[in-house]
Amino acid sequence: MHYLISPVLFPSSKRKCVMYVLGLSPCRIGGMERFLKAISLEMTQSGWNCVFCFDGEISDVFREYISQPGVYLERVDSQGNLGFRAAFRLFSVLRKYRPSVFVYAFHGIMRCFPWIAYLNGCDSIYFNDHSSRAPGFVARPLSSPKRAIGRLLTWPLTGTLSVSHFTKISGHALGLSKAPGIVIPNGVEARETSAELSAAFRREKHIPSDCTLISLAAWMVPVKGIDAALRAAQIVLNRSSNTHFLFAGDGTHLRSFQYTVTELGIEHGVTFSGPIANPMEQGLFDATDIYMQPSLWQEAAPLAILEAMSLGLPVVASHIGGVPELVIDGKTGFLVPPGDSNALAECILRLTEDGDLRRSMGLQGKLMVQMRHQLHQTASQYAAVFLRKIPISGVPAVEQPYPA
């Protein structure tokens, strides 16, 4: 970065350290937690330290999972509305570690983070866009005053790192930053399906061993499309008795959805498992035959979809956000209009009734993950950017959509 004004607070004594400020609280071992560990391994192997600053409580299970020399965890609450206390806390953490690279994620791009990092002498400042967009979001330029404010706030940015072409293109369309950007697709750890994990998971959750299991792992909130999924489940269960639906997760509307199940009369075919601390290791995907993601929210690049595909599962998902970059309609699964329970049910029924189609789509998805979405590849690309092995200056602001 070429400074027009030299940072005034800590112009020297920077360390080989990357600091990630994340607007989330790690309570389990999911795709994002695995991503952070992979990043930390790449950076520490290059002789760098990693600092992860979370907004909220850091669970013991995550502390144990990511623990290694050179990795540090900090807590900076109320990041989304960065008031004086939160800003002071972030300043203190920056003073403590003096990172060369500063990254913020799970926030909107319009934050004061870039300036706080800039004034603390960070050499490189990145916005890592993992954020989904709200239902009804339209990618178009904001008003001139908003664009001016956005460009002032983001002036110190070195670049943006997007997890999908959807997030990059829609973010660029708003006109809030002139920083160059690249797409680094999400990745997951690949392994073979375990029959032992599958059997153990079904026993634990009291799911029949011989049924076709359709699963969803998500927050139990309306924007995740749970209502449409339950109504689709009613259609499927009425036509295919040897099926079962599993909803894994917690959320503010869990009780409401449980009441809907009773109201629809499908208690016999639906299980709410509650949150699962480590879905990949506890056998959720191993036990599943079909994965669904009926979100109304314009998802950026759902890691749960990639985890399901990595184990050879076909996916039925909403045609929304960055999902079509992962689920290739008719090849690795089916895409349906968001909120359309009838279309969701029909696609699920096609897969339950045709084992060959289910296996073929699952295999195509698994191959796609192996070629394009390996976690070690994703982490190495991030590390290459942070270590300046991949320059992002001059990268076009908008690229072609992800190839089918």
| Gyration radius from the chain CA atoms | 22
> Which one, of 390, 324, 334, lies nearest residue 164 by Cα?
324
**Residue 8 confidence class, pLDDT cut points 50, 70, 90:** very low
The CATH number assigned to the domain holding 103 equals 3.40.50.2000
Q: Clarify whether residues 32 and 176 are in a common domain.
A: yes
Q: Clarify whether residues 180 and 242 are in a common domain.
A: no
394 belongs to a structural domain:
no
Q: Picking from 69-83, 175-189, 302-316, which range would have the lowest pLDDT averaged per residue?
A: 69-83
78 belongs to a structural domain:
yes
Range of the domain at 257: 195-372
Q: Clarify whether residues 272 and 143 are in a common domain.
A: no
403 belongs to a structural domain:
no
207 belongs to a structural domain:
yes
Evaluate whether 183 touches 325 at the Cβ level (below 8 Å).
no
100 belongs to a structural domain:
yes
Q: Clarify whether residues 176 and 216 are in a common domain.
A: no
> Which one, of 133, 142, 202, 148, lies nearest residue 178 by Cα?
148
Provide CB contacts within 8 A for 28, sequence distance 6+.
59, 61, 62, 275, 276, 277, 278
| Mean pLDDT to the nearest integer, 260-268 | 97
Q: Picking from 4-8, 239-243, 312-316, which range would have the lowest pLDDT averaged per residue?
A: 4-8
Q: Clarify whether residues 174 and 37 are in a common domain.
A: yes
Strand partners, 377: none
Task: Specify whether the backbone of 339 is left (phi greater than 0), alpha (psi in -120 to 50) or beta.
Answer: left
89 belongs to a structural domain:
yes
pLDDT digits (tens, 9 = 90+) for 242-255: 999 999 999 999 99
Q: Clarify whether residues 39 and 79 are in a common domain.
A: yes
Largest CA distance in the chain: 69
Q: Clarify whether residues 28 and 50 are in a common domain.
A: yes
Question: Can you give the pLDDT at residue 82?
Answer: 62
Q: Clarify whether residues 254 and 143 are in a common domain.
A: no
229 token code pair: 């999924």
Pairing, β 159-162 against β 181-183: parallel
| Mean pLDDT to the nearest integer, 285-308 | 97
pLDDT digits (tens, 9 = 90+) for 319-372: 999 999 999 999 999 999 999 999 999 999 999 999 999 999 999 999 999 999
What is the distance between the alpha carbons of residues 265 and 267, in angstroms, rounded to a whole number? 6
Pairing, β 181-183 against β 333-336: unpaired
Question: Can you give the pLDDT at residue 136?
Answer: 86
What is the distance between the alpha carbons of residues 317 and 163, in angstroms, rounded to a whole number? 18
Q: Clarify whether residues 250 and 330 are in a common domain.
A: yes
Task: Specify whether the backbone of 198 is left (phi greater than 0), alpha (psi in -120 to 50) or beta.
Answer: alpha
- What kind and span of H or E run contains 342? helix 341-353
| Mean pLDDT to the nearest integer, 12-16 | 63
378 token code pair: 């994703």
Domain total in the chain: 2
Q: Clarify whether residues 234 and 165 are in a common domain.
A: no
Does the pLDDT at position 202 exceed 50?
yes
pLDDT digits (tens, 9 = 90+) for 133-192: 989 888 888 899 999 999 999 999 999 999 999 999 999 999 999 999 999 999 999 889
**Residue 396 confidence class, pLDDT cut points 50, 70, 90:** very low
Question: Can you give the pLDDT at residue 393?
Answer: 61
Q: Clarify whether residues 256 and 360 are in a common domain.
A: yes
265 belongs to a structural domain:
yes
Q: Clarify whether residues 100 and 201 are in a common domain.
A: no
401 belongs to a structural domain:
no
pLDDT digits (tens, 9 = 90+) for 211-236: 999 999 999 999 999 999 999 999 99
Which pTM was predicted?
A: 0.90
